[in-house]
Amino acid sequence: MGVTKQQEQAKTTALEALPLRDDLRGQSPYGAPQLEVQHLLNTNENTYPVPQVVVDAIGTAVHQAASSLNRYPDREFTELRQRLAAYLGHGLTEEHIWAANGSNEILQQILQAFGGPGRSVLSFPPTYSMYPLLASGTNTEYISGERAKDFTLSPEAAVQQVKQHQPNIIFLCSPNNPTGTALGLDVVEAVYEAGQETNAIVVVDEAYEEFSLEKTQSALTLLEGRERLIISRTMSKAFALAGARVGYLATSPQVTDALRLVRLPYHLSAITQAAANAALQHVEVLLETVDEIKAQRDRIVTELGKMGLNAAVSDSNFVFFGWFEDSHAVWQGLLDRGVLIRDVGISHHLRVTAGTQEETTAFLVALREVIGTETSLP
């Protein structure tokens, strides 16, 4: 049962009566709609189920971990850091790796360690909508940078804004959410050098990197010799483990030491560690769906073009597209047909997750009905 406007207003009034921090008054919590719809293509999950061999391995590992839940888990989650380092390669060791309960907690800990009152974080909207919320929660000033009209970001524009604002932290989302495009490594290099003056931490959020186009390079290749550079990743997307809540990063050992100062004691539970370690023993199986998802993503881009729509080139598992006079009406029309995609709040545009072949077909059929085209499916 949905919440009525009157109920929502009553909740807001009750909340405002509390001694809430001034900067949190009037704010809305992060959250995509959670509706009972046949085709859920709004939160960029891997819509394929976890392979049975991985389900069995996680079940066994969690069962074993349950027998010692009376004891605290490994505070340093050593095995997990070793397995993540082995997965990433690039000569990384456990000393370069950190993990937390989802990549959002990773970003929060970075802000706790390097942000805070009197400090600032710069990012470049439209980008991941959690960045300003995380900044607010850590009392860090959030600075909205600017992109070009086509949502790209050049090295020159990025450097000019870093020098202008002199932030303590810079968030670069690559592939960018919601537009889906990756940044060139020249942007990362230029931003890192521009941040030298203020000793700025540069975070490259690579939550969707496994879905990147063949020519796209990870910022992991830039880590050596750059102690202020952080590459953030997640097991939620390509690994199909969104429900496990495991995020991680690669950086210099001194940065991981800094994060130890702000992490909560034993922040990764024994259950979380057991599940992640078991999954990482089956990396090849977990990533088997990535190529199929990329194929459906590319299919979406092609078919949207046939409908006369503009679809951004995507290095992710979703597609950002438009142009609509009333994008919310299109969103509602799709929902009425059992397909939930994301209205990201950018005028004339929407975002859709690339799912299975069946889900992609359902989306394309519904969209053609909504916008009234007569183009047939291939």
Query: Taking residues 209-222, what's their average pLDDT?
Result: 96
Say what the pLDDT of residue 22 is: 85
- Report the side by side order of strands in the sheet with 229-234: 97-100, 247-250, 229-234, 201-205, 169-173, 120-123, 141-144
pLDDT of 377 higher than 70: no
- Residue 32: the pLDDT is 64
Give the C-alpha distances (Å, rounded to integers) separating 111 from 167, 170, 178. Answer: 12, 10, 22
Residue 81 confidence (pLDDT) above 90: yes
Instruction: Name beta bridge partners: 322.
Output: 310, 349
- CATH fit for domain 32-49+288-371, picks 3.50.50.60, 3.40.50.300, 3.90.1150.10, 3.40.50.1980: 3.90.1150.10
Does the pLDDT value for residue 224 go beyond 90? yes
Which has the closest alpha carbon to 127: 89, 79, 179? 179
> Given this model, what pLDDT does residue 2 score?
53
Rounded Cα distance between 369 and 364, Å, is 9
Q: How far apart are CA 335 and CA 345, in angstroms?
A: 16
Please determine, for residue 170, whether its predicted confidence score (pLDDT) is greater than 60: yes
What CATH number belongs to 52-281? Answer: 3.40.640.10
Average pLDDT of the residues in 153-169: 98
Give pLDDT, residue 26: 80
- Ordered by start, the domain boundaries in the chain are 32-49+288-371, 52-281
62 sits in the region (left: phi over 0; alpha: psi -120 to 50; else beta) called alpha
CB 353 within 8 A of CB 47: yes
Residue type, 184: G
113 pLDDT higher than 70: yes
Tell me which long-range contacts 110-114 makes (C-beta under 8 A, separation of at least 24).
110/169, 110/201, 110/203, 110/230, 110/259, 111/135, 111/137, 111/138, 111/140, 111/169, 112/138, 112/262, 113/258, 113/259, 113/261, 113/262, 114/168, 114/169, 114/201, 114/258
**Is the sign of the CA dihedral 157, 134, 126, 361 positive or negative?**
positive
The average pLDDT across 22-46 equals: 83
Cα–Cα nearest to 98, from 209, 250, 277: 250
